[in-house]
Amino acid sequence: MTNSSTINTFILYTFLFMATLIALQTQSLAQGSIDDQVKEISALLMCPVCQGQSIGESNSNLAHDMREITRRQLEEGKSKEEILAYFVNSYGESILASPPPKGINWLLWLLPGVAIIFGGLGITLYLYKSQGNKTKEQDTSKRIKPEVDNDYIKKIEEELEKGDS
Amino acid sequence: MKILSTSGKIIVLIIILSLISLMGYAIFGSRVNIKTSPLVGTVAPDFALKTFDGEDLKLSDLKGKTVLLNFWASWCMPCRQEAEALEKSWQKYKGKDVVFIGVNVWDENSNALSYLNKFGGGYPHGMDPNEEIQVDYGVGGVPETFFIDPSGNIRDKFSGPLTEQIIDYFVLKAQKPQNNES
């Protein structure tokens, strides 16, 4: 009877220990997941009072508050999009690290591509033209060279003939 | 060495001019419509504040009144600069359905209280409890002031130290019925 009671107590404590462990582990995983999400969202928002820093990178009071608000909103179950929309609503689209591709913002997304295409075309055109000019010059010099040589040889022959006579 | 033909040069020139025009539009074109805050013209975010006098204040309870909402901090020099103008204007508009509210941000309670003792705190001031009100209002620095009309819409935002003239201008503007201004 005593043995059975000891075993029961042992099982109960083991169960409680395991349950606590699982609860702690789950909490830590959830915490880790929220931390990751805060980091992810913080990288998408620019600090309004800093120079080119996201709220994840900045140590300013405002960036700190914005990270805390992000955490609170995540804990309340808000999605990434809802949180970003909240900050855009307060600070405008300039708060976003990458502006959404709409309106005049399209230029920001298209211009680098256009610049690469036109730059590439320009360089190709330049190389093509300069190569063409080089070939032309080489052809011309090839054609001229024998004539020059012929004249020179002719003159030598004339001089030799004069010398002979 | 001739790299581009005349028509090629014209095309490159057109492209460069188009890019310059687009840049010009991006920089200056939309400036006419730029608002000081995306919240201007929208409903002012509601908030609850415990004032330094221990009173509870809720923005939504002030419907029908013009509200001047000023964000400040004790360490902020421009806030000290505008304190006198705020106090004088508050005296002037007292009893005229204009409410002044001071929201203290990024500060210590004791520093805020000594600031109010020195620079005057006739109208209600309170500390932003979770530093959330200023983010709701898109505050980037102090001082920043919002002018809320009697229907609860943000009519204007002013960044920097206020003067009595500036306060008069925005308070009177907020008191007037809203036109379809951009």
In a domain, B181, yes or no: no
Q: Quick check: A92 contacting B, CB < 8 Å?
A: yes
Q: What 3-state class would DSSP assign to A55?
A: coil
Q: Quick check: A21 contacting B, CB < 8 Å?
A: no
Whether pLDDT at A63 is above 80:
yes
Tokens coding A5: 């009671």
Output phi, psi for A152, to 5 deg: -60, -45
Q: How many domains does chain A have?
A: 2
Domain stop point among A50, A79, A100: A100
| Residues A160 and A130 placed together within one structural domain of the fold | yes
Task: Look at residues B48, B44, B46 and name the one whose alpha carbon lies nearest to residue B56.
Answer: B48
| Residues B81 and B19 placed together within one structural domain of the fold | no
**Residue ranges making up the domain that contains B11:** 1-34
Question: Exposed, middle or buried, A7 (CB in 10 Å: 0-12/13-18/19+)?
Answer: exposed
Whether pLDDT at A142 is above 70:
no
Q: Quick check: B135 contacting A, CB < 8 Å?
A: yes
The whole-angstrom distance between B88's CA and the closest CA on chain A is 30
Q: How many CB atoms lie within 10 A of CB B99?
A: 20
Facing residue for A65 by CB, picked from B4, B15, B135: B135
Preceding peptide of B143 cis, ω within 30°: yes
Mean pLDDT, to the nearest integer, of A18-44?
Answer: 80
Q: What 3-state class would DSSP assign to B178?
A: coil
Q: Quick check: A156 contacting B, CB < 8 Å?
A: no
Dist. CA A89–CA A71, nearest whole Å: 18
Query: Per the CB < 8 Å rule, is B132 touching A125?
Result: no
| Residues B89 and B18 placed together within one structural domain of the fold | no
Neighboring chain B residues of A104 at a CB cutoff of 8 Å? 25-26, 30
The residue count of chain A comes to 165
Ranges of beta strands (E only) in chain B are: 48-50, 56-58, 66-72, 98-104, 125-127, 144-148, 154-159
Q: Using pLDDT thresholds of 50, 70 and 90, give the confidence band for residue A7.
A: confident
| Residues A62 and A112 placed together within one structural domain of the fold | no
Q: How many domains does chain B have?
A: 2
**Residue ranges making up the domain that contains A151:** 101-165
The answer, as to whether pTM is greater than 0.80, is: no
pLDDT in tens, chain B (182 residues): 566 678 878 888 888 888 888 777 766 655 444 457 999 999 999 999 999 999 999 999 999 999 999 999 999 999 999 999 999 999 999 999 999 999 999 999 999 999 999 997 799 999 998 889 999 999 999 999 999 999 999 999 999 999 999 999 999 999 998 765 54
Eight-state DSSP code of residue A95: G
Q: Quick check: B11 contacting A, CB < 8 Å?
A: no
| Residues A87 and A41 placed together within one structural domain of the fold | yes
Judge if ipTM > 0.85. Answer: no
Instruction: Write the single-letter amino acid at A114.
Output: V
Facing residue for A125 by CB, picked from B3, B135, B137: B3
